[in-house]
Structure 1
């Protein structure tokens, strides 16, 4: 039987998603919990590997097992053995043809940025930070220059293993929450797929433009240069959340994981 799970986690204490010898990754903790619950080794594949410090509101994984349990038993039983900052949200049997990564139609990320003269404290590690005020209109104008199918080499980490730098960036929304000097900015991204550090590198450029250090049209020059050297430094991982992939409803996954859902498929982060 092939089973899909929706996972939520706080990435602050982990070295990213992908398993490492240290054992201090989200995948390591999840597979250890699944193995204890199933009483046999279980290996997982994920929809999108997240870096150290990056959070997920709906990571999707799948695995094959001969163990038969009700979906909620997988949720409750696995969560019993997981750390407090990782939790399975749902479980769903899927056809053998389903693949959490290859079957995804689109992927979404959210970056939460705190604009404040004082650095974050209670929400440290869960939001990015800008001490200076940001110009939302300038950032939105710059963001439109990235929409569509492009070569995103200027926003690609040197360690990126993607076969091609060409991705289809379908949506970027920039919204401000609060009208005083202390406010929150939400940057939501949707694409067919993302390159390693792509969003954090875009964020570095957007914030530079928001500060007025560059004009919005600078974003087009960065994109067309196809060189990481011309872009801004990689922005902090603290405020980055993987909202998750979306799939065709025919796979039978919960509504929040289907493209037809049409609404916000996550609880508001800080």
Structure 2
């Protein structure tokens, strides 16, 4: 036993030196400022070429059938009357003016919560079927992407809600037992022409054909038509040090669109959707390129 005493005394002394009775160890993170190196902006689509690809022929497809998705939030009062509509997804901006009076004229069975009729902001979906009759590229200019400026995608505009919309009394959808339903719904929208600016990046191969596209500014409803049309476009390939080479080109232009008539006989009623006063929706739209 006497041989163990020095060992115990040494351990006790080490413990006493490690921490005094009046000391308390506190582990606190201490931020240490680190100066990060400056990284110059780069453009992954830029390439060192003598001349960029340039468009030669830009036909647009005629009689192109398509379905155009529309999302909206409608205020339905306790009598089933649509008092207002806020669009959250449009194939192109001009559709809103034609759809708004048709939706506000639609009568609904009112929403019900605990057996009583209640007002709600009701998420709606509409699939407009029709076709793009024809089109023409009125103007297009090709340029090499700037190596020091990354490409910027046009921001999706926020829903154009009135400032007073958020103040209307509305029952949350999770408290609604029965959703409103349209008593009758039919939409017919006359077609017509308009001019639409666009901006995109296109990868052009050595054969002068378009391989890939990244949309920077173009309405969602026109992208499928423009992609299908660009499969037939021809370009003068980019010129590299050793001859023709594949490269990206920035196209900025304007197209003339002649839209055919659009129609829909169904109004989709949903529980999930944006309403005034909520955060801006993250619209489920196709990726900017293909």
Pairwise same-fold verdict (TM > 0.5): no
- Which has the higher relative contact order, 1 or 2, with Cα contacts under 8 A spaced 6 or more apart? 2
Larger radius of gyration: 2
Larger % of strand: which? 2
| TM-score interval (norm. to shorter) | under 0.3
